[in-house]
Amino acid sequence: MAVKLNEKALQHAKRLIRDNKVVADTRDDWSEHAPSTDEQNKFLDKNGSSEYSKWFLGVDDDHPEGQKGRYKFPYGDFKKVHRCAVISGESRAGQYDHDDIREALGDLLARLDEHTEKSG
């Protein structure tokens, strides 16, 4: 699997954090907060693959452009960055030796926690 860091998504996530579009949830919340398959399909149909891809820090070149399977490591719900998604993604990226993605997610987690401390 040729998964690489999606720089466009990383920049998008940083902007969302800066703009306070965050959910400071806990690690195990992602299973409940993650968009359903139906929600993902609706977002993709409405906004296209370019916008959809901004919500995933990994891109798998083994899948064609525009296919949902191409995008890995979600960090939010198409509205806000979720702390639980960042934590979950960081753990999975580490398990599969995607070090650049793991580091990017670690950076996002630090930004989220710093932002939460300042605004909370």
How far apart, in whole angstroms, are the C-alpha atoms of residue 112 and residue 89? 14
Q: What is the pLDDT of residues 52-79, one digit of tens each?
A: 999 999 999 999 988 899 999 999 999 9
pTM, two decimals, is 0.93
Q: Which structural domain range is residue 75 located in?
A: 3-119
Structural domains of the chain, count: 1
CA nearest to 61, candidates 52, 53, 72, 70: 70
Tell me what pLDDT residue 119 has.
73
Is residue 9 within 8 Å of residue 78, measured between CB atoms? no
